Structure 1
């Protein structure tokens, strides 16, 4: 589907640091999706995830979080509770909450990503699962550090 190509091109452009070109690609994908699909279609959630990465790259973490919340809302309605896309969205939310210094929220979403990953098809040596585990471990250390400061 042409939308997948737009999203892939946008992802590549972001990796290259060409944010404005990435915007163009993801906006084209979103326009097509919004025109032809219902507002709860999972493909919209994928594009919201990509757009959140652009906002995060521009340090607009609140808008990135808003996009991720839209993605999560769609995914929770349209996908199986243990679908890998849900794990990815929770992982991304964990990163954003960490950047916003909301460690408890970051922890909850990192844990959710791990839990879903374990229920989905991931094994402990799966590369994606290792990424989720690294984020979880990092947030766990932050949580423990915050708790020590309080004591």
Structure 2
């Protein structure tokens, strides 16, 4: 693809993103990061700022930073992804639920329980609507919400 497409082609960014995600799932974080950064850069140059592919790329890079413990780097990327998805996707889309949940998890780790709680609640509500109350993802989101509620009471 690098030989057949211009360096700023969005399809090339998609390939970088997909390979980076493979590396991330394999725990090869040092290999994943430069590919995620390339994907973000290409998408920022070639797509409108409200394009869902850009949001996906921000979200995936944020997830990598989260796993690396770079929470301060992950937060603005999650926020950008959420902002784009809130503008471009239906309010009950699973991508929003995932980003709400992940950002809430980040806030939870930072002890920002007041910030985490409404995001966990949104994720749970979306998943319950889309997948049903007994789906494992819904139950996990509900559990996250209940945990942060209890932590806030302590």
TM-score scaled by structure 1?
0.84
Using a 3 Å threshold, how does the CA distance of structure 1 residues 146 and 35 change in structure 2: closer, same or farther?
closer
Aligned to 1:124: 133
Q: Is residue 143 of structure 1 aligned with residue 149 of structure 2?
A: yes
Task: Tell me how large the CA RMSD over aligned residues is.
Answer: 1.8
Displacement after TM superposition at 1:26 (Å) = 1.0
Out of 93, 104, 113, which is 1:83 matched to? 93
Displacement after TM superposition at 1:142 (Å) = 4.0
Using a 3 Å threshold, how does the CA distance of structure 1 residues 19 and 97 change in structure 2: closer, same or farther?
same
- Partner secondary structure for residue 32 of structure 1: helix
Displacement after TM superposition at 1:64 (Å) = 0.8
Moved >4 Å (runs of 4+): none
Displacement after TM superposition at 1:46 (Å) = 0.4
Displacement after TM superposition at 1:92 (Å) = 0.8
CA distance in 1, matches of 2:132, 2:141: 16
Aligned to 1:57: 67
CA distance in 2, matches of 1:68, 1:25: 18
Asked whether the equivalents of residues 58 and 80 of structure 2 are also in contact (C-alpha less than 8 Å), the reply is: yes
Q: Deviations over 1:15-37 (max 9, x none)?
A: 22211210121122112211211
Displacement after TM superposition at 1:65 (Å) = 1.1
CA distance in 2, matches of 1:141, 1:65: 21
Using a 3 Å threshold, how does the CA distance of structure 1 residues 30 and 141 change in structure 2: closer, same or farther?
closer
